[in-house]
Amino acid sequence: MYALKKITVTEDGRQVEEVHVLGNMYRLEFYPRNTHLAAQVEYCRDGNVPCILVEKTDEAYITTLAGDTVRCICRGDSKARGEIARCRTQGSK
C-alpha cells in the first residue's frame, strides 16, 4: 500500500502536511519544466480516479503506509514556500 505525503502552503500562509492513501497502484506523471506544476498523481478509489496535483513549490513523496519513502516526487523550494507563507500572512493583516 502506498501513500502520497505532500507539504504545501495554504492561502493564509500556514504550511500544511497532507497524506493521501493511494492503495496498491498509482500513476505518476511529471510535467515539463515550463509549467508551475511538478507532477500529478492518479490512483483508483471506489471506481473513480482522483488526481492530485503537485506544484513545484510543494514537497511531495510517495511512501509506504509505514512511512518509508519509496519515491521523491518534488523536494520543493523551502525558500519559496517560506516566502509564500510570509506574503500570505502579511497580506491578510
**Residue found under cell 506544484:** 55
The tens digit of pLDDT for each residue in 38-66 reads 999 999 988 899 999 999 888 999 999 99
Residue 52's nearest CA partner among 65, 70, 39, 34 is: 39
Please tell me the distance from the alpha carbon of residue 41 to that of residue 38, in angstroms, as a whole number.
Answer: 10
Residue 5's nearest CA partner among 84, 74, 51, 85 is: 74
Grid cell, residue 71, equals: 519515491
Please tell me the distance from the alpha carbon of residue 46 to that of residue 62, in angstroms, as a whole number.
Answer: 21
Residue 75 reports pLDDT greater than 70: yes
pTM: 0.75
Residue type, 65: L
pLDDT band at 10 (very low <50, low <70, confident <90, very high): confident
